[in-house]
Structure 1
Amino acid sequence: MSVLEAWYMDESTEDPRQCHKLNPNQPVSLQELRDIGVCYWKLKADIYENDPELQKIREENGYSYMDIIDIHPDKLPNYEEKLKTFYEEHLHLDDEIRYILDGRAYFDVRDKNDRWIRILMTKGDMITLPAGIYHRFTMDETNYTKAMRLFVGEPVWKAYNRPADHFDIRQQYVDSLKCS
């Protein structure tokens, strides 16, 4: 099984579906992602419906709600408009949990110094972005992913575009970075 790939992004404003690696590339390790609160698992997406490892993660973390979304021009109404919305830098008041069941996509997160880190998500990758972290989402050039969205309790879809530093959860997140 492959391991998650992440790197610092270049400053290009070209098509966000391109990889945007620096030259030379500056990879980001799983430990560096953990240091900013991003958790990662590699699971067996082909058996997600009966995967005991996924069930264990859901039970341990209280992920009681789940749905699946197909992100593709033929499957998601207003695809291009939705992608623009997903790519706006934002935060949530709750953790964001995503599990890629098929296809590929990118999550971009800010590090402690406000630099963008791009995380390539492929089949079997599951991440948790902590509440209060600035991030965004986009597809890669394949324009397809099938993702499971997980929540603790009822789903909360509200995104707060940057600047959103006035939220208590943002300050709690920033304070947590000082401790690590």
Structure 2
Amino acid sequence: MVEFYYHDGKDTPENFTDEHNSGVEVKPEDLESIGVLYFNVESKEELDNIASERNYKNRDEVCLSLKSFNNDIEAFNGKMKQFYEEHYHEDEEIRYIVDGEGYFDVRDKQDRWIRAKLVKNDMLILPAGIYHRFTLTSNLRSIKAVRLFKDEPKWEAINRSSGRDSSARTSYLQAISV
């Protein structure tokens, strides 16, 4: 079952896949206030209904594990480091977990990290423009997920360190300030 909590802020390059649970729970309604939506999806029919309601036209499946990188630990660790770099996208990011588990971290209105631990049947929708990052859990280090898209995917990750604010970021900030 999904878990939402504030990150303890004690991650390092060596332990970022650890739980980092501060002990302070976050409710789904708190996530909704920053535009993040959560669904528990038990069937393909439910997934298809959500996709239809939200006008998602395309999808694919992604598998992340050491095996999916042909056991190339350097390539695997490089990709995990890239996903953990704080960034946003100009489109929504939608993930439905088919198997495995991982953490999505999102920034709240006070710029604190909220960690969502997702497992099988969890679906998370991140709005365009929200700062976030992703990692696998340290105990499983494997995930299989369906990615949904409204149109053709736009994969540009705009890293926070770049200082670049696009119209998606500006629109997001305006939406959550209301």
Please give the TM-score of this superposition, normalised by the length of structure 2.
0.91
- Aligned-residue sequence identity (percent) comes to 41
Q: Does 1:90 align with 2:83?
A: no
**Amino acid of the structure 2 residue aligned with 1:30:** P
Q: Distance in 2 between matches of 1:129 and 1:13?
A: 22
Task: Please list, as runs of the form range in 1=range in 2, the aligned pairs for 1:6-85 lying within 5 A after superposition.
Answer: 6-14=4-12, 15-22=15-22, 25-44=23-42, 47=43, 51-76=44-69, 78-85=75-82
Pick aligned residue for 2:116 from 114, 119, 125: 119
Q: Distance in 2 between matches of 1:53 and 1:13?
A: 36
- Structure 1 partner of 2:174: 175
Please give the TM-score of this superposition, normalised by the length of structure 1.
0.90
Q: Distance in 1 between matches of 2:152 and 2:18?
A: 34
CA shift, 1:165, in A, is 4.8
Q: CA-atom RMSD, angstroms?
A: 1.2
1:8-61, Cα deviation, whole Å (9 max, x unpaired): 011213311101011xx10000000100000111012xx4xxx22111111111
Q: Does 1:105 align with 2:102?
A: yes
Contact 1:133–1:173 (8 Å) recurs in 2:
yes
Gaps of 5+ in 2: none
Aligned length: 170
- Structure 2 partner of 1:132: 129
CA shift, 1:108, in A, is 0.2
1:94-128, Cα deviation, whole Å (9 max, x unpaired): 00000000010000000000000000000000010
Pick aligned residue for 2:156 from 155, 158, 161: 158
Q: What stretches of structure 1 move > 4 A for 4+ residues in a row? A: none
1:112-171, Cα deviation, whole Å (9 max, x unpaired): 000000000000000100000000000001101101111011111110000445211111
1:67-114, Cα deviation, whole Å (9 max, x unpaired): 111110011352111000000000000000000000100000000000
Q: Distance in 1 between matches of 2:151 and 2:84?
A: 25
Q: Distance in 2 between matches of 1:127 and 1:13?
A: 23
**Amino acid of the structure 1 residue aligned with 2:45:** P
Q: Distance in 2 between matches of 1:76 and 1:92?
A: 24
